[in-house]
Structure 1
Amino acid sequence: MAIASKLVNTIAACAMLAACGSPQENPSDTGSNKETASKMPKAVPGKTLFMQCAACHSLDADGPKKTGPNLHNVVGRKAGSVEGYRYSKALGAADFAWTREKLDEFITKPFATVPGTIMAFSGIADSEKRKQLIDYIESTDSPAAD
Structure 2
Amino acid sequence: MNTDKTYQGSCFCGAVQFTASGEPEAMGYCHCESCRHWSASPVNAFTLWKPSAIEITQGAEQIGSYNKTDQSYRKWCKQCGGHIMTEHPGMGLTDIYAALLPELVHKPGVHVHYQETALHIYDGVPKFRDAPAEIGGSGVSVPE
TM-score with structure 1 length normalisation?
A: 0.26
Higher relative contact order (CA 8 A, sep 6+): 1
TM-score with structure 2 length normalisation?
A: 0.26
Structure whose alpha-carbon radius of gyration is higher:
1
